[in-house]
Amino acid sequence: MFNMLRLTAAAISLFAALLAGSSLVADDPVPVLNLPGSGTNPDAIDYDTLPVLTGQHAIINPAARGPHSRPVDQLDLADLRLNLHNYLVHHDGRYWCLWSDGPKVEDYPTQEMKYSTSEDGLTWSPARSVTGTPEEPFAWIARGLWVRDGELLALGAHYRGHGAFGPPDRKQLTLKAFTWNSDAGTWEPRGTLHENAINNFPPQRLPSGDWIVTRRDSRFNVSVLIGGRNALDDWQAFPVVGVKDVDGFRPDEPIIWALPEGTLVGLYRDNGGSQRLFHATSEDQGRTWSRPLLTNFPNATSKLFSMKTSRGYRVLVLNANPKVGRRQIHLAISPDGRTFTRLARLDVPTPAELPDEVARIRKKFRSGIASLQYPHVIEQDGHLLIALSRGKVQTEVFRVDLDDVDRFLRP
């Protein structure tokens, strides 16, 4: 009996040791960032000596006072309208930008979706509404511009109350689409994609011909929707990660992309306080996913976007310096789509002009003071065009020459 107890205790000790070892492996950050000088150690990054990418800058929709703002002599950022959730596309010979425009920051009832167009990406038309102003207590959040079988769609999440997240029966969260009628020059309701769903970026094509798009429900649980080929509302949902599935990790605003061999990669903003990205993969075109793991890539708890360029490398735009929050925005480069080997700061300048009604708080729009967030990127005519929000109150673009980006990959 004594020997059996001793054997059982030994087995338990061995099992505990194996568990401890497994935990150590699981806690070792996934090395998706490997930079010259700092290697895979994010704490060794010297942000002050990072390369700097310059470019051309323009305002798409200027800051404006909200409906309940204080007098001009008492004005602050909190008195301005929301301008956030920026999306770009080049379609039918024009640039298009879509964003959320609300009475104040952020996601309050009567928030709507607005858009603007441009011939060159730098001079933009006055903003017009996609949705019209909804009646209280409803609101819209812009969710992307999607070209599906030649049709331009503006996606939006429709919800009730302040913010899209909460009890499903109370929020009534629904992902819907509007279609562009070029003859009439207007957006028209196109239908519902999915109930209890808010996506992050427009759907992407899978090799099967189906579309795939990330989805969060009103409780922040993450899944992917696959389908959309036969009908706009023809989707099958596959779970990725629940909000409480991984200790300390609170998934938000996921992005995904495909590697050449077909593996799908997912990166996640973490609202759990890690100030790092999380990483997961799928080997079956998004139907099952690995458990999200902490990476070594810093993130100031903000939205990110990635795309593969025509030059063959992938770019990732995000707020990569947690010490300054969203006051800096960065571009990382990955030659293989797995590991990002270069990191540069985007030198987004202070706006040259601001509306007279916000001149009193001009300092809060300055580079290094204002927050720059929620990027979306497209490539066109040898440039990257990056849409972003300044202070959540002004929609802007920053255009970078791809030849300048190429130089960072040279030895």
Do 383 and 404 contact (CB within 8 A), yes or no? no
User: What whole-number distance in Å separates Cα of residue 182 and Cα of residue 39?
Assistant: 50
Q: Which residues fall within 8 angstroms of residue 149, CB to CB, at 6 or more apart?
A: none
Is the confidence at residue 382, as pLDDT, over 70? Answer: yes
The one-letter code for the residue type at 134 is P
User: What whole-number distance in Å separates Cα of residue 259 and Cα of residue 221?
Assistant: 25
Task: Name the DSSP letter for residue 172.
Answer: -
Residue 102 has which token pair?
Answer: 């609300």
The one-letter code for the residue type at 232 is L
Q: Edge-to-edge strand order for the sheet containing 204-205?
A: 204-205, 211-216, 222-227, 235-241
Structural domains of the chain, ranges and CATH numbers in brackets: 50-409 (2.120.10.10)
Name residue, tokens 């309050």: 108
Q: Which residues fall within 8 angstroms of residue 108, CB to CB, at 6 or more apart?
A: 82, 102, 139, 162
Tell me the pTM: 0.93
What value does the mean pLDDT of the chain take? 93
pLDDT of residue 27: 65
Is the confidence at residue 310, as pLDDT, over 50? Answer: yes
| Percent share of the chain, pLDDT over 90 | 91
Confidence of residue 3 (pLDDT cuts 50, 70, 90): very low
Do 366 and 350 contact (CB within 8 A), yes or no? yes
H or E element in which residue 170 lies: helix 168-171
Identify any residues that bridge with 186 across adjacent strands, giving them in sequence order. 181
Residue 397 has which token pair?
Answer: 């673009």
Do 306 and 253 contact (CB within 8 A), yes or no? no
Residue 311 has which token pair?
Answer: 């030059």
User: Residue 345 region, left (φ>0) first, then alpha (ψ -120 to 50), else beta?
Assistant: beta
Identify any residues that bridge with 350 across adjacent strands, giving them in sequence order. none
pLDDT of residue 23: 34
Is the confidence at residue 248, as pLDDT, over 70? Answer: yes
Measure Cα distances from 16 to 5, 11, 120 in Å: 16, 8, 62
pLDDT of residue 409: 87
Do 248 and 256 contact (CB within 8 A), yes or no? no
Query: In 196-308, which ranges are E strands?
Result: 204-205, 211-216, 222-227, 235-241, 251-258, 264-270, 276-282, 293-298, 305-308
pLDDT of residue 9: 38
Query: In 285-409, which ranges are E strands?
Result: 293-298, 305-308, 314-318, 330-334, 342-346, 372-380, 383-390, 394-401
Instruction: Count CB atoms within 10 A of the CB of residue 327.
Output: 17
User: What whole-number distance in Å separates Cα of residue 174 and Cα of residue 195?
Assistant: 5
pLDDT of residue 12: 36
Do 122 and 399 contact (CB within 8 A), yes or no? yes
- Supply φ then ψ for residue 300, to 5 degrees: -85, 45
